[in-house]
Amino acid sequence: MSTWCSPRSAVLACAGLFLIVFGFSRAETSGWTAPLTIGSLVLGPVLLAGFVLAEQRSSHPLLPLRVILDRTRGGSYVAVGISGIAIFGTFLFLTYYLQVVKAESPLTTGLLFLPMIGCILLSSNLASIVGLPRLGPRVLIAAGMLLGAGGMAYLTQVTVTSSYAGAVLPALLILGLGFGMIFAPAINTATAGVRREDSGVASALVNTMQQVGGSIGTSALSTIALTATASYLVAHHTSPLAPAIAATHGYTLAFAISAALLGLGFILAIVLLPSKRRLAELRAAATTAARTAPGLATGPARPAPAPAHAPQPGFEAIPVALCSCSPVVTPGSWIGGHAGPLTVTPAK
């Protein structure tokens, strides 16, 4: 069997992901039928397939496929990826809505997100410290997906005249509780029972899945939202508030798609993720394998094996850091009923 070098695998993976993100982004300006859009969206998956083939043929793979093919870890990565799409979409389109449609300042918009962040911090700590040992990852992550889907569905009801307290704040609180119940247990589960030589890859994939989900999801949802906005303007261009209403229509469509993805995540969490008992078995097996590893068998201070009646290893609480970037949106002059351009400046 031939050996493919890791740099080649890295190039295939990075190029494939880039082309997928570029294809979705290009569709925003050139359309879905443009040759460059179609070529990017076709070639990207082909390069990722080549990456998988390269990893199978490599004696020292960059990403051992056994890490992601494991049902427990694979389900955790899927949960992180789907929730990454949803949370990045929430920050992006709610930022647009609050600054462009509701004419809030960037500082005020950031402060209006604080209730959601507070709920994420509270929920993630309670989920990893209290909920995971008692309920297991399947129940927690599935419940988090369901809450997230409900929060996204609530956001689909926003209009140009909706108030923050009545239409946005309840959704932010629900989303914060749901995301906290997803991220912390998923990180714990993704590294449970992993081989010592795979521990670095398994933990790194958690952050990678969040960033990949956010990148692909943001580009795809932005294109879909902009397409919906343009279609609405073509049909309803006479009203003074048509630009604001059209933009809100695009945002709510993005929220609806995110809600559907979280609903899919709810189903996948039930199917793929382990129960409390299964997760305890994985941790116990990992502990036993570490004690019987050849490198540890001859050590001078090898600990005595635990008796059969000893309690299973406890669950560890892993702090969760959520990375997101909210664009600074400069409202155009059409706010308040006057038509004008919109300017979007990415945050540095």
pLDDT at 312 over 70: no
Please give the share of the chain, as a percent, with pLDDT higher than 90: 30
Q: What is the pTM of this model?
A: 0.74
SS (H, E, C) the chain: CCCCCHHHHHHHHHHHHHHHHHHHHHHHHHCCCCHHHHHHHHHHHHHHHHHHHHHHHCCCCCCCHHHHHCHHHHHHHHHHHHHHHHHHHHHHHHHHHHHHHCCCCHHHHHHHCHHHHHHHHHHHHHHHHHHHHHHCHHHHHHHHHHHHHHHHHHHCCCCCCCCHHHHHHHHHHHHHHHHHHHHHHHHHHHCCCCCHHHHHHHHHHHHHHHHHHHHHHHHHHHHHHHHHHHHHHHHCCCCCCHHHHHHHHHHHHHHHHHHHHHHHHHHHHHHHCCCHHHHHHHHHHHHHHHHCCHHHHCCCCCCCCCCCCCCCCCCCCCCCCCCCCCCEEECCCCCCCCCCCCEEECCC
Mean pLDDT within 295-318: 46
Query: What was the pLDDT predicted at 236?
Result: 76
Region 34-45 average pLDDT: 90
**Over residues 32-53, mean pLDDT:** 90
Segment 143-152 mean pLDDT = 94
Domain residue limits, the chain: 1-63, 64-289+317-331
Pairwise pLDDT comparison (318 vs 83), residue with the higher score = 83
Q: Tens of pLDDT along 171-227?
A: 999 999 999 999 888 888 887 777 777 778 888 888 888 888 888 888 888 888 988
Task: Report whether pLDDT(309) > 60.
Answer: no
294 or 175, which is more confident?
175
pLDDT reported for residue 110? 92
pLDDT at 215: 84
The model's confidence at residue 28, banded by pLDDT at 50, 70 and 90, is confident
Tell whether the model's pLDDT for residue 337 goes beyond 80.
Answer: no
List pLDDT tens digits, range 246-276: 999 999 999 999 999 999 999 998 988 877 6
Q: Return the CATH superfamily for domain 64-289+317-331.
A: MFS general substrate transporter like domains (1.20.1250.20)
Residue 31 has pLDDT above 70, yes or no: yes
| 1: pLDDT strictly greater than 60 | no
